[in-house]
Amino acid sequence: MVDKPKQDNEEAPKGSTAFLHVGSSPHLSNSRLTTQRMMIDVLIGLLPILVFAIVIFRWFAILQLGICTVSCIAFEALFSAWRGKPSPLWDMSATVTGVILGLSMPWSAPWYIGVIASGVAIGIGKIVYGGLGQNIFNPAMVGRAFVMISFPAAMGAAAYLDPDGTLKIVTQATPMSVARSSATPLWPLFLGTVNGSLGEVSTLAALIGGGYLCVRRSASYEIPVGILGTIFILGGIQNLLNPDSTFTVLHHLFGGPTMFGAFFIATDPVTSPVTRRGKWIYGVSIGLIIMLIRVFSGYPEGTMFAVLLMNGVVPLINRWAIPIPVGGPVPVRAQ
Amino acid sequence: MISLFSGASGVGTFPRGVHPPEAKEYSRAASIAVLSTPDQVQIALLQHTGAPAVPTVQPRTDVVMGDMLADGKGFISAAVHASISGKTAALGVTTLPNGRHVQTIPIKAATEQPYTDAALLAEILGGDWECDSAAFEPQAIRDACKAAGIVGQGGAAFPAHVKFSPPEGKPIDTVLVNGCECEPYLTADERLMIEAPAPILVGARLIARAVGASRVIVGIEDNKPEALERMRAAAADTDVEVMALRTKYPMGGEKQLIRAMVQRTVPTGGLPLAVGVVVTNVGTSAAVARAVLRGKPLTHRVITVTGAGIREPKNVLAPIGVSFAALIDFCGGFTEDAARVIAGGPMMGFALGSLEVPVTKGTSGITILTQTEVERAAETACIRCGRCVDVCPLGLVPTRIALAARHRNWEQAERHHIMACMECGCCAYTCPASIPLVQLIRSGKVQLIKRKS
């Protein structure tokens, strides 16, 4: 007779020789693809942006990023302990939130703003919903919106001014806040040697990192393409209507956090739709809202609000945008 | 007409799907070995889709290999035959790997067997397969399949004579021969194509004759170059086309295969004949040739015994009804770290709870995986990354269906077309959060059907 395979002692009833492990198929899983791996992908994608932020803003960037990342990790550990849940730090999602939050801060923000933003991001943005995967709104953007409204002086246009001229940037105010009066030259805007939040300045870095994410499918290309395509079309129309304007469609695309937001913030899987059609609807809508805010509202910039608004609509999109199965819907008689 | 790629209207692939490790190297090079006659076999009365066969022999009857033991009852059913010579015993009961409790007719082997070893291999796959398929009447081909108890050997084990009886007004123009073997590990079909291409091709032409199809195409995944070469060489002087398909799971799924080979979409809940196609597995095809040309029933099949958990992986020509234990014994037994024994391949196969179970006409292989291979990471929360949506060959949203099924939210599950799922397992294979998606959907489907009945 055949020797039975050796069994896990915990599961094998004693004295039973007929025991074999069973389980429902598939019996294999793709162990290289994990939630943690996807989060690490995001961090890898953020690397070019981090490097650029540090080159431009030097220790201001290191300090800001350090504060936000450490705070986010600490708050995640604290709140998880509070809930009596095992610490989910291994999944790296708190690290990603911290880095993205840090990159969305102005270089001059005082330390406590970073800490408060992190607490709100992790606590109100994520943990109150039940942790990773349950939140409706992008945690980093919840944190940032909170401090932006609570500390307008430290987070507004004035926060970006560099009176001492210590930074290697070509403008004083951010390109978006001066957009209505003057336009920044395009090349520095593309490269990133302009003023702005730490991570939003370089279009080039965002394209490199975002491209990596899309190739790895750790971000869905439909979302950035939807956002940027919509901005391109609407900005183009605006451009054609006002041929004299020095603020062109390329300024819309390269300026402000457009690229950073399109590739790294809007693509947060938890707060974006699951289906392809849903992702297109979501991306195009964000592009639309960004342009609405920029052109018609009092705010110079609207990526954060556009993402947060559309986050709220995602459950509805998921409900509407159900793809039709290959071969059509299930016929009623077959049920 | 010689045609290789030419004329085939498909693109050789289908949208989405996954690429699990192929793991064919364990058994790919092993020529078909003949299992020495076991002491006993148990012939299950229900090895197919449909009604169980009804015994036609009494217990303690002397039977010879090939004698009918039980005949099909009703239209959708299939006869079963003695796979060895010997004496029958009283009806037994067994639980097949798929969970069905079925009655069996045990046969104790006689000392004298008509064919063993090389003679058996030659009897089943060797010899001359020349024939003019036009010389056979379609009904005669169907009758021969019915008498031989032939069922689909690829998976669902659908009775062949039923499949080859297209209803009025549903003309069939194409027969697709499924040589994909897209399940990782399994190599039985591959070896059959290499070692016996002739009966496969003849069987396929006979099937085309039976259903009135004018075109026969053999589809083989491009990770089997030797099988492709042999089949092409064998088909060179016939009107059978051989098409290389992209290696991707589940290419061997009927709907995916039809899409890849002839660019047609089978409606949900429908059969291939709705788009004028009949799909047949290579093993079935060879069995049809043997039944029609030689009048021999389906008594043996090639079974791959493979995986890191078996000492000597092999492709075995085994009598239907032999126990899994005997096959594992024949292949040197388990290794130290063997942990799970699967009837079929790792993507859709059934894990065995006992080895004293007989193989059936639909058993394509035994895959033995080790502890490290079957370990799954702990399940974490869905982050709605949409990877399952990206791989679902049917274009479903597995995460929404699975979580709806878990929470018994049947309204949401149906809104997401839960019943369209074919349970291929691409979603659960891919899920970064290790959520047992297809398992949840599978149990959801069962519960939903129960609720509705």
Instruction: Mark yes or no for CB contact B381/A8 under 8 Å.
Output: no
The DSSP annotation for B62-78 comes to EE-TT-EEEE--SSSB-
Angle at B337 between CA B336 and CA B343, to 5 degrees: 110
For the ranges A210-214, B151-155, B308-312, which has the lowest average pLDDT?
B151-155
Residues 104-163 of A with CB under 8 A from B: 131-134
CATH of domain A36-315: 1.10.3430
**Would you place residue A160 in the very low, low, confident or very high pLDDT band (cuts 50, 70, 90)?**
low
Domains of chain B from N-terminus onward: 1-375 (3.40.50.11540), 387-452 (no CATH)
Closest C-alpha to B247, from B421, B24, B28: B24
Instruction: Mark yes or no for CB contact A23/B351 under 8 Å.
Output: yes
pLDDT digits (tens, 9 = 90+) for B22-79: 999 999 999 999 999 999 999 999 998 889 999 999 999 999 999 999 998 888 999 9
Instruction: Mark yes or no for CB contact B429/A29 under 8 Å.
Output: yes
Closest C-alpha to A225, from A152, A287, A297, A153: A287
For residues A190-198, average pLDDT: 74
Residue A330 sits at the chain B interface (C-beta within 8 Å): yes
Amino acid at B157: A
- The helix (H) or strand (E) run that includes residue A295 is helix A276-296
To test the contact with chain A by mutation, choose from B342, B347, B384 the residue with the greatest count of A C-beta atoms within 10 A, namely: B384
Residues of B with Cβ-Cβ distance to A19 under 8 angstroms = 353
Q: What is the pLDDT of residue B368?
A: 93
Q: Which residue of A has its CA nearest to B347?
A: A26
Q: How many CB atoms lie within 10 A of CB B381?
A: 17
Q: What is the three-class DSSP state of B277?
A: strand
Q: Is residue B283 pLDDT above 90, yes or no?
A: yes
CA distances from B166 to A331, B209, B219 (A): 21, 12, 22
To test the contact with chain B by mutation, choose from A326, A333, A335 the residue with the greatest count of B C-beta atoms within 10 A, namely: A326
pLDDT digits (tens, 9 = 90+) for B341-400: 999 999 999 998 889 899 999 999 999 998 888 888 888 889 999 999 999 999 999 999
Residue A2 sits at the chain B interface (C-beta within 8 Å): yes
Tell me the nearest-neighbour CA distance from A106 into chain B, angstroms: 29
To test the contact with chain A by mutation, choose from B335, B371, B389 the residue with the greatest count of A C-beta atoms within 10 A, namely: B389
Q: Is residue A256 pLDDT above 80, yes or no?
A: no
Q: How far apart are CA A308 and CA A318, in angstroms?
A: 16
Percent of chain B, pLDDT > 90? 71
| CA gyration radius, chain B | 21
Is 0.80 topped by the overall pTM? yes
Q: What is the ipTM of this complex?
A: 0.83
Tell me the nearest-neighbour CA distance from B443 into chain A, angstroms: 10
Instruction: Mark yes or no for CB contact A269/B384 under 8 Å.
Output: yes
Q: What is the pLDDT of residue B1?
A: 35
Q: Which residue of A has its CA nearest to B437?
A: A26
Residue A197 sits at the chain B interface (C-beta within 8 Å): no
Q: How far apart are CA B450 and CA B453, in angstroms?
A: 5
Instruction: Mark yes or no for CB contact A28/B439 under 8 Å.
Output: no
Instruction: Mark yes or no for CB contact A26/B350 under 8 Å.
Output: no
For residues A228-232, average pLDDT: 93
Residues 54-113 of A with CB under 8 A from B: 91
Report which of residues B140 and B154 the model is more confident about.
Answer: B140
